[in-house]
Structure 1
Amino acid sequence: MISLYPTAARSEVPQKAASLSTQIDQLIQAAQKREGVISAPRSTDAEFMRRVSLDLTGKIPPVSELRTFIADPSPQKREQLVDRLLASPGFVVHFTNVWRDMLLPELTTSLQARGQIPEFEAWLRLQFQANVPYDELARQVISTSQGANSQRQPGEVAQELTPRAYYLVKQLKPESLAAGTSRAFLGVRIECAQCHDHPFDSWKQQQFWEYAAFFSNIVQAGSNQVAAELPLMELGRPLQIKIPDTNRLVDATFLDGKKPDWEPEATSPRIRLAEWITAKDNPYFAKATANRVWSLFFGRGIVDPVDDFSSTNPATHPQLLELMANSLSANDFNLKYLIREIVNSQTYQFTSRQTDPSQIRVEWYGKMPTRGLTAEQIFANLVQATGFFRQTTDADPFLFSQATNSPESEIGDLFQKDAENQLDPRATILQALALMNGEFMVNATSLEQSDVFTAIVEFPQLTIADKIEAFYLCTLSRFPTESETKRLSEYISSAETEDERTHAYSNLFWALLNSSEFLLNH
């Protein structure tokens, strides 16, 4: 029956938009269903805490915090842990290291470039402490011009901190700055067109040099100071550059073919370049940033390698990349926002143990991939697990990290940061052997040198099983299995004297610290 009376309008309750982490999972699950991938179970609490602590702070969690987290019955404890880690000093230190290596890849090959580390690291730390929006951070790097020129001792951090090291380690070369800027902030390798038109992509040689022209006017002010301490300045001349081996002069031009619009007396051309790179309508910046952040947690980008966006290297999950880029832009390029959403996703929280053959295809994220650690992470884990070096590292992190004979530099030499992606484990056989037999590893597992080892072995109320458990928790961030406890208890109990028993515990500690489970993130 049709009523002639007006009906009351149905009140519609506005639907709350799904969180980004939920949308990430929906897109990944749809891809897995399409590809026939069966996802792994959820990680254990211990597995998750170790993983997220390594990813957000660069080191394994303290045993006391691990025990508290495992015992916590709250269903929100993982989200709460993520929030605590994002607000911790460890996050600032770790992401300073990550972005330093990304922006200054020359550090792995140039001893001269390493002299720029203290000021650049100090500047980066300030940005991460203040949670500066990433587009603003990028603009500061690209447009930096002035540096502190006050008198100071070599190696001392400048009072006026700037990111000028980005320019100095590239020796102010326009071609190096063009290549580095496009890779770091746009995710494209335009240097392939430096000598000739790119054979497989659309980049032309003229485009490369037109882009490089933005950096053609940068010099250092003259002074009697050390060159690395001099401020940068721009010459007031037309932004042009000569293409090598030709007679052609080209003008500064954005990669989209548009000419910059600025008044030379009022604005630096690199400020215009920085604004163009970070503009919300730039098709590359937000995607390149989201892709790079994703790669930090999964060992590979949605476009992989992360700095090779091209027509011949398509994204494995284009909708997901678009979603994260748009969300990052809508949230004012807040890196912590994107990081929080990624690590709170089910996709990030899968176990790394393979439970189905389909999970071997890493691009579909059926399980959490096992990833290599950086030199800084390995060193920080050794400090956390053993208590060795702790007094030294707390004294002066800048000077200690750069000392050529320091344990950290020794580990850095073993585990160079030159892997294209984290799915290539950095602990090769030779590296592992060198780590096992290094003097610092012997000291770190000795009763005289290691605070942690001494505390466990000499604690009278602990049984053999308790001590085995303590060694597992402080190294692998998990409880030993029943079979591990049984086997190791028999081994420890077989010692006939107190010295032999101490040596047996030392062997256990040494084996755990040199295990792949300790040297990898999983």
Structure 2
Amino acid sequence: MLSRLQGKVDVYRELILIARNHGLRLAVVCLAILSLQPLASSAAADDREVSVGAIAQAVGWNFQNDIIPVLSRFGCNTSGCHGKAEGQNGFKLSVFGFDLEADYAAIVQEGRGRRVFPAAAERSLLLLKSTGEVPHGGGARISRNRPEYARLRDWISAGMPFGSSSDPQISKIQVEPAERQMEMLQVQQLSVTATWSDGRKEDVTQLATFQTNYEALAMVDENGLVTAGANPGVVAVMATYLGQVDIFQAIIPRIEQLDAAAREQLNQNIASDNVIDRQVAAWLLKLNLAPSGPCDEPTFLRRVYVDTIGTLPTGTEARQYLSETSDNRRTELVDQLLERPEFTDYWTMKWADLLRVNRRTLGRKGAQAYYQWIHENIGQNKSLDQFAAELLTAEGPLEESPAAYFYKVVPDPNEMANTVSQVFLGVRIECARCHHHPWDRWSQTDYHGMQAFFTQAVFKPNEGSESLTNSGVTLTTHPRTNETIFAHPLGQPVPQESPVGNRRELLAKWLASPENPFFARNLANRAWAHFLGRGLVEPVDDFRMTNPPSNPELLDALAQYLGDNHFDFKQLVRTIVLSQTYQRSVVPNETNATDAQNYSRFPMKRLEAEVLYDAVCQTTGVQGKFAGVTDGQRAIQLWDSHVPHYFLEVFGRPVRATACQCERVCEPTVGQVLHVLNSSDIHDKLRHVDGRIASLCLENIDNQRLIEEIYLSCFSRFPTEEERAATGEHLRITSVRNEAAEDIAWSLINSLEFLFNH
């Protein structure tokens, strides 16, 4: 296959050289290329064959239509090159070519026109640097025998025309094929067709840029050749050209078919009453993936405690649950956990991360009041739409309306538009503040339409404090055209006049309305990512047409379920954790060992920093101490994300400086391993005279019961026979019983089984 591809590329280059040297019309070249057998794999009967045409010759030069695509294709105007804010080596271009006039001036006029030389175009600095003939920090980007080089050279020779505003504009691009099923390691050539405002269609494949949303599933090269990987799942490949985007989606199943028993089990799941299991099973059937079996009771007990309330079960709680025989015990346990105070503490911590409860921004008094408001609302199980609405419409003195601190965290209307879109809609729009979003549909008009909702909100002095009022600037203007932009939600029509009344109230009303396609999907996806380790859209705050969900039917079903249940978060949690999907084992079977996307087994998830530290304190029986915090508080109860604590910092506690969930780091590191191994804090807790180990050793229990209690505290399970024998022998040969018990507890705390939820 690769030799076929290279051969056709060589033929293509030869035809271009013949056309250039002998004056043949480019149309003849195109016809010759199109007559070649299309590039496609012959490995499967359903291959989608496409043809890729040559780069068309410009007809009446236009800087935007003819030159910007070349600069974008070779990365010249990206943020890593000349598109960065300060430019590169004195040459600055706008990111993705959003400012045509500035880019034209930079190339043609700056430096007294030294970058282009129409009299001898090939001696232009623009070409000499891009070919590497003159030293260039970015290296050689283009060779002289490429058609893109010829396009730049001919444009310079023609006098660098800018073009006319009446020239055709691009309307859309279309990727072919749009979707298909691929076998593992199979290839698929994509083609990209641009449609212009005059109705003309043009093959722009060789000037488009390509990017995959999941490299573990498929790679794409610069020419649009997609190569499927060796993992099953669904992948999207994005093509971009002149600010337009489109995607190709591939579903990649396992090659081997499932056996009859596995298919029968999945078909039964498709008929399940649980909306989650129905959709997951249907997808696994498409991918030829058999799910792992159910986890055992000890695993479920520890898993659901950690995920739901951020707390380990105590040894006593574990022993009691494992002694029960009721078929309904998992359901009963979940219902109990949802009503525990730790549920409120834990989910307040999660929301405090997103809403940026930050002492350095709000001050001690403000951060405490803001945190307490969140805590009270989570404790009341206030519906998520009402919770969001009260934040958006907050008004009045800060002492009376703590929700108004939301606007103290983000006082700038532009930043508030970013935050609300990211937190409540799952959409990143910040790129559209300065230019059309390069990977989505959002324009500067869309961005400033969201920003206009918040320009009325301003703080005014109020008896030594501040009060949030609704009396600010009422107009927002487009930064480039200076036209007035009236407030309107993302994806909604642009109004011709300003909405009447409090604009923030209008936004809050739209937020949970059926017209809003984002709110329910975003919240459902965030919850799903927390419990299952990976969002249906990943990253969770990056919903866009070029990053589609891995299981769209499941995401739609979860969003519908959340809306139908009046945005009751506890009800959503209950449904997720009682699904067969959530209760699967982490142990892979022969079909799903490489599956990381489709929820055929439970993922290993490292405990969050606060949860892990609380687990250490609970299993050792010694409370943690935090500077400036009342004794007895657990890490998940801390309202201040800046309380100095080395353990929490090493394990990735967020500082709450942004609304991005990526601030919290849960990936394991060498530093974390070394800290747990050598931490004096952990050693002191294990040896503490009033700690759990010392207390157990004072009780009149034999070695086997002592071992059981340590295992139940750390792992929520009884030790295996092999573990009993090994730890029992260590206790027998160690002269000081306390030290032997400390050794056992220390080894368990340092194990993956303790550090991870599984």
**Correspondence for 1:40 among 268, 277, 292:** 292
Q: CA deviation at 1:459?
A: 1.6
**Change over 3 Å in CA distance of 1:424–1:130 after alignment to 2:** closer
CA distance in 2, matches of 1:221, 1:81: 49
Percentage of pairs with the same residue: 30
Q: Check if 1:216 corresponds to 2:455.
A: yes
Give yes or no for contact 1:120–1:161 (8 Å, CA) kept in 2. Answer: no
Residue by residue, what CA displacement relative to the aligned partner does 1:426-467 show, whole Å, maximum 9, x if unpaired?
Answer: 3311022123333321221114252x112222222x222221
Q: How many pairs align? A: 477
Give yes or no for contact 2:487–2:498 (8 Å, CA) kept in 1. Answer: no
SS in 2 for 1:333: coil
Residue by residue, what CA displacement relative to the aligned partner does 1:468-509 show, whole Å, maximum 9, x if unpaired?
Answer: 2211111121222211221122222221x33xx322221221
Partner of 1:166: 406
Partner of 1:306: 540
**Correspondence for 1:137 among 383, 387, 410:** 387
Q: Check if 1:472 corresponds to 2:711.
A: yes
The 5 A counterparts of 1:310-325 are 310-325=544-559
Q: CA deviation at 1:398?
A: 10
Q: What letter is aligned with 1:135?
A: D
SS in 2 for 1:164: helix
Partner of 2:306: 54
Give yes or no for contact 2:609–2:651 (8 Å, CA) kept in 1. Answer: yes
The 5 A counterparts of 1:98-497 are 98-104=350-356, 107=358, 111-112=360-361, 115=364, 116-149=366-399, 160=400, 162-170=402-410, 172-223=411-462, 225=464, 230-235=466-471, 237-238=473-474, 240-244=475-479, 247-255=482-490, 256-259=492-495, 262-264=499-501, 268-389=502-623, 393-394=631-632, 402=640, 409-417=645-653, 425-450=666-691, 452-460=692-700, 462-495=701-734, 497=735
Q: CA deviation at 1:201?
A: 1.1
Give yes or no for contact 2:398–2:404 (8 Å, CA) kept in 1. Answer: no
CA distance in 2, matches of 1:51, 1:206: 46
SS in 1 for 2:458: strand
CA distance in 2, matches of 1:60, 1:397: 13
Q: What letter is aligned with 1:195?
A: C
Q: CA deviation at 1:144?
A: 1.2
CA distance in 2, matches of 1:209, 1:53: 43
Give yes or no for contact 2:583–2:602 (8 Å, CA) kept in 1. Answer: yes
**Change over 3 Å in CA distance of 1:454–1:335 after alignment to 2:** same
Q: What letter is aligned with 1:394?
A: G
Give yes or no for contact 1:370–1:423 (8 Å, CA) kept in 2. Answer: no
**Change over 3 Å in CA distance of 1:423–1:237 after alignment to 2:** closer
Range that drifts further, 131-140 or 29-38: 29-38
Q: What letter is aligned with 1:253?
A: H
Q: CA deviation at 1:396?
A: 9.2
Give yes or no for contact 1:372–1:423 (8 Å, CA) kept in 2. Answer: no
Q: What letter is aligned with 1:440?
A: D
Q: What letter is aligned with 1:26?
A: R
Partner of 2:755: 519
Unaligned runs of 5+ in 2: 1-269, 655-659
Give yes or no for contact 1:179–1:189 (8 Å, CA) kept in 2. Answer: yes
**Correspondence for 2:347 among 81, 95, 99:** 95
CA distance in 1, matches of 2:419, 2:661: 15
Give yes or no for contact 2:291–2:601 (8 Å, CA) kept in 1. Answer: yes
Q: Alignment RMSD, CA only?
A: 2.7
Q: How does the TM-score come out when normalised to structure 2?
A: 0.59
Partner of 1:510: 746
Give yes or no for contact 1:359–1:365 (8 Å, CA) kept in 2. Answer: no
Structure having the higher Rg: 2
Partner of 2:46: none
Q: Which has the higher contact order (CA 8 A, sep 6+)?
A: 1
Q: Flag the structure with higher strand content.
A: 2
Give yes or no for contact 2:422–2:428 (8 Å, CA) kept in 1. Answer: yes
**Change over 3 Å in CA distance of 1:90–1:405 after alignment to 2:** closer
**Change over 3 Å in CA distance of 1:119–1:443 after alignment to 2:** same
Q: CA deviation at 1:411?
A: 2.5
Residue by residue, what CA displacement relative to the aligned partner does 1:214-268 show, whole Å, maximum 9, x if unpaired?
Answer: 112322222574xxx5222222542x2345577454332222134487543xxx2
Q: What letter is aligned with 1:63?
A: G
Q: What letter is aligned with 2:406?
A: Y
Q: CA deviation at 1:184?
A: 1.0
